[in-house]
Structure 1
Amino acid sequence: MLRVTALYLFIAAVAGALAGMLWSLATDLPSYTIGTDGSASISERGLTSVFSADAVYSLIGLVLGAGLGLLAWRWFCGRGAVVVALAMAGPLMASLCCWWIGLLLGPDSFPTRVSSAKAGDTVQIDLALHTWTPVMVWVLAALLPVLVISLIRWDAPADGD
């Protein structure tokens, strides 16, 4: 059981790291334009797309979380409540790996870049999450298939019975 659990968590971490690369590539970050007076301005459309990083992260989490939930059910359904704990731990680990890799690959140190920009330059905002909610999307997406399958198969015999 310990080897399979370690393998599951390893798969979750690797999938999260790959998702971080995808998150960094797929997120369209808005940019501030530096004015002649040194001020930075952003369009109204740019303001609305500030949260695009959260949306892309959540969409990736829905898909990957559901996949990890199905994998947890497949491998650990005969272990009782352990499947729930692992269906939460795997996606949580994956989401944190995704977040970390995305931050490493995406633009950072926005204040430094803005302060060194010249008039007419555009400066992209940092790739960052603005709330913890997208992290929880990953976990909830993984728990959903576990919940549905366990409700459908509530009277099915456990493996080995």
Structure 2
Amino acid sequence: MKQKEFLNIVMPFKDKVFRLSKRLLVSSEEAEDATQELLLKLWKNKEKLNTYKNVEAFAMTMTKNYCFDRLKSKQASNLSLVHSNYKENGTSLERITELNDSVSKVHQLIALLPEQQRIIIQLRDVEQYEYEEIGKVLDIKPTAVRVALSRARKTIREQLIKQHNYGIK
């Protein structure tokens, strides 16, 4: 396989790999390293890529496993929390602050979810994967993906409502 063929196969989902890495590792620098590492592994095994039905799903599975390995390693204690700020033009400072707080709260709530639910939220709501594709990546049935996604969204929604109501029912 030539470099051009490899790039045509891999480049369309490179950003998805980065976003999944960032969701799991939090740090942009760690996510960039994970993405680079995955691309290097794919390049080293470029001759085998044609044997896979869905190279993108294979790459996402590799990314998930690599990120879990990084988090389990001793270096995981050195990972830092980095947030990108939400910006919108023409909005008052007060509203921007509220939006930033809400976005940060959603990120925090997603981080508190069980690993599987975090991955499902990332793949479905951010990456727009189909239930069947997520099931293949995580090796579970599409109905289990739907149930986990529903539970994750419900948890986040309840926590946000609780926050916005200041604990008052």
Higher relative contact order (CA 8 A, sep 6+): 1
Identify the structure with the greater helix proportion.
2
Between Structure 1 and Structure 2, which shows a larger proportion of strand residues? 1
Higher gyration radius (CA): 1
Give the TM-score band, short-chain normalised.
under 0.3
TM-score by length of 2: 0.25
TM-score (norm 1): 0.26
